[in-house]
């Protein structure tokens, strides 16, 4: 079997590609690198958020004094998780408005605002993953179309069009599509996975807010 022409390797085809296709490939590589950076960082952040949420729920439902728990959270607020900060916001507002008729409502609003801030923070960079997943295939397709168009234009100067003449141009053009899919598929999978993970955490946060409001309601009525 005859050895493959080195120029037909992936690297060789990329080097032979026209400048616009090379620029498109470089864009796709950059998108892929940024996507994988966000994928790994988001994975670590959500893993930490789940652990912190579980730890705080264990502390909260252990039957301890809410005032002591609040003091502990306040002292180490920067180290606490999202749920602890939501609790801290609600408890702070309840203490400030203690004795007033709308203390529970003020606490609920404070926790809802804190909940939205924490949710926005957890969703950071998800928009980029969604955009990378939807746009990358089209960017790759643009490179493919341009490359194939350039290959066929080149055939106009050739007396006899053969497969050997057109194959390298088509092959280098198709690499752009492959790179677009390579950038898009992990981004889409990660976006869907992390969105589901964040939705689960958001449900836990909302459930906690409702249960904590019930506790404050009983305390204010006692």
53-95 pLDDT tens trace: 999 999 898 877 888 888 888 888 777 899 999 999 999 998 8
Q: What is the pLDDT of residues 179-198, one digit of tens each?
A: 999 999 999 999 999 999 99
**Has residue 179 been placed in a domain?**
yes
* pLDDT the model gives residue 135: 95
**Has residue 96 been placed in a domain?**
no
**Has residue 102 been placed in a domain?**
no
> Residue 34 burial (CB < 10 Å; 0-12/13-18/19+)?
middle
Q: What is the pLDDT of residues 8-36, one digit of tens each?
A: 566 766 677 778 888 888 999 999 999 99
Nearest to 210 by CA among 96, 115, 128: 115
Least confident of 28-42, 50-64, 91-105, 130-144: 91-105
Residues 161 and 155: beta-carbon distance below 8 Å? yes
Give the integer Cα–Cα distance in Å for 206 and 105.
Answer: 15
**Has residue 24 been placed in a domain?**
yes
- pLDDT of residue 50 exceeding 80: yes
**Has residue 217 been placed in a domain?**
yes
Nearest to 168 by CA among 150, 182, 156: 150
**Has residue 142 been placed in a domain?**
yes
DSSP-derived secondary structure letter, 162:
-
Total domains in the chain come to 1
Q: Which domain holds residue 173?
A: 6-63+126-221
> Residue 15 burial (CB < 10 Å; 0-12/13-18/19+)?
exposed
Reported pTM: 0.82
Task: State both tokens at 33.
Answer: 């690198």
Give the integer Cα–Cα distance in Å for 110 and 91.
Answer: 9
**Has residue 213 been placed in a domain?**
yes
* pLDDT the model gives residue 66: 87
**Has residue 97 been placed in a domain?**
no
Nearest to 84 by CA among 97, 71, 95: 71
- pLDDT of residue 3 exceeding 50: no
* pLDDT the model gives residue 192: 96
């Amino acid at each position: 079997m005859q050895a493959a022409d080195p120029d037909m390797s992936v690297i060789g085809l990329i080097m032979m590609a026209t400048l616009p296709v090379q620029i498109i490939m470089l864009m796709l590589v950059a998108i892929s690198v940024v996507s994988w950076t966000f994928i790994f960082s988001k994975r670590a952040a959500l893993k930490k958020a789940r652990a912190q949420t579980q730890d705080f729920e264990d502390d909260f439902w252990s039957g301890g004094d809410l005032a002591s728990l609040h003091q502990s959270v306040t002292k180490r607020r920067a180290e606490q998780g999202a749920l602890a900060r939501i609790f801290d916001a609600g408890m702070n507002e309840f203490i400030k408005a203690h004795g007033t008729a709308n203390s529970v409502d003020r606490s609920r609003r404070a926790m809802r605002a804190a909940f939205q801030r924490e949710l926005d923070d957890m969703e950071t960079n998800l928009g980029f993953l969604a955009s990378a997943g939807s746009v990358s295939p089209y960017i790759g397709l643009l490179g493919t179309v341009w490359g194939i168009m350039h290959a066929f234009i080149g055939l106009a100067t050739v007396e006899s069009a053969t497969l050997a003449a057109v194959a390298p141009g088509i092959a280098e053009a198709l690499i752009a599509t492959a790179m677009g899919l390579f950038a898009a598929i992990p981004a889409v999978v990660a976006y869907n996975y992390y969105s589901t993970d964040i939705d689960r955490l958001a449900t836990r946060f909302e459930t906690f807010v409702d249960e904590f409001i019930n506790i404050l309601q009983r305390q204010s009525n006692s």
